[in-house]
Structure 1
Amino acid sequence: MKVAIVFDSAGTLLYTYRVAVDVRSKKMKKGVESTMLTCSEKGRSLILLYAHSLNIFETPSDTLLSDYMKKEGIKFGIACSNGIVSHEEVSEYLLNDRYARISDLQICIKTVWNCCKKLPIVAMNSGVIVNRDLKGIEFTITSGGRPFSNAKETISSLHKMGVATYVASGDSTDKLVKMADYLGIPHDNIHGVATPSIKAQVIKDLKSVYDCVIMVGDGINDIPALREADIAVLTCQQNKNKPKKLIETADIIINDVSEIKNITENAIKGGNFKKY
């Protein structure tokens, strides 16, 4: 039996530390889970900004983030949203916002970097949370992650079993490639800038090639892909506090990425798996 496994990145292959700043109150939230923060209030959308951290730090701190995006032509991706939102609507919020400044993003990046800079492998991403009710940016947010200690060995074991491994994540492709090089996942199997619908499409496309496609995710934005997969695996390795909707979507819940090896062996043998 030909088996493929698609992994999300943050919280699934990477232990991730996140910091958010409320752009109006300037209060910082440390250790947040971005998808949970987004989905805790109707009208919020998590947006990944495709901007380099160094370029952000070279920009004057009092610059409006909206002006920076327009000047630099910064592109963005919608990672997840609490409610339906269009790309055009998000673009309007981002480019017309008058509250968020570069300093709000700089402090997020600096805080995460100070926490993660001594790690051998670090993947950092920055973005914002826009709010439809506010018609603008509510939070700036940065995440930094390192591979779980057993992730590399798990990927190696899967490859020895003849299993194809993929990554589908909202993170930028260049950052995912660095992680993939460390873990041993082929570049061609990396799907960056992947919205929830794109993740689901990746699963659907792979199902036409493989006998069994397993999706491993940890957040609300993974639900469409989990539903599309032959086997939906929810990992709680970083955070065990998951929404009921996410738990109900999963066929199997794991607490360590290495557990995927036994699940895969069972799938290859054509065995049954129980939902728990």
Structure 2
Amino acid sequence: MIFDIKTKLKSEEIDISEKKLQAIIVENFEHFFPNLKLIKSEYSLKGNVRLFGMSGRIDILAYNPIEHNLVIFELKKEHSKNIIIQAIDYSDFVEENLELIISRINELTFKEKKTLLQLNNPPRIILIANSFYHPTIRRAKKLSNEISLFEYKYFSNELFQIQEIRDNTKIRERLERVTSSSESLNHVPKIIEIIKTITGLGLVNERYFKIEGSRLIINQTHLYKAYEKYYTEKEMDSLSKNDFFIAIKESKKFLEYKKGVRYKNNNTTGMVINLS
């Protein structure tokens, strides 16, 4: 309940449909998400969406002009254990078909489209529901995609509240575990050898790296995803994305970051590492 001290009116929380939730978000988008640019509500994907097990319609698609990536919104009236799976399916499809999708978005300028294609950043995911269970919050923090969770409440008198979940305690606990675990940190001095192993095992798609003589040029986003997967399978804590790249940059083998690298049928960013 919300009680207005001045008017002495109280507002009780009530249920709303998913359709109404979506309408409220869209109609007030610039107030709830001032740093994002709304592209379209009910954005229809073109292509072989059945291969990804999706309906082919994103609840809300937006653009982040600061981080230069697309933002996928998945809305649920109330918590669903499948909400993350659905959002990641959409994210994977967008990543695989980025050039085609961007070419069909009329709401973006030519410069915005060019930047999106050049940087090829993975989509950000925003999940909105009335509430989230702890497993969903925990999984969202572990995934390499940037995922934000927002809980909403709708009250009589048409009051609407939306608030991001910030599980700082859990994040801090995870960082403390990584910092205190010698097993986790033993691989940091050998970070370049780990990258060689990851690449050699085929954990990074060949569309996102190439070898020129003694130099490895590799997309940093896909490299970190492969690294995270590698250590998850070994049942060891992995470094955070920030610490991972710091470890690489502090290595004597790191040479530079490059933009507009041409890989196999793909043009995106990359980091250059000396393999010799």
User: Is the shorter-chain TM-score for this pair beyond 0.5, marking a shared fold?
Assistant: no
- Work out which of the two has the higher radius of gyration on C-alpha atoms and give 1 or 2: 2
Q: TM-score, normalised by structure 2?
A: 0.27
Q: TM-score, normalised by structure 1?
A: 0.27
**Greater relative contact order, per chain length (Cα 8 Å cut-off, separation 6+):** 1
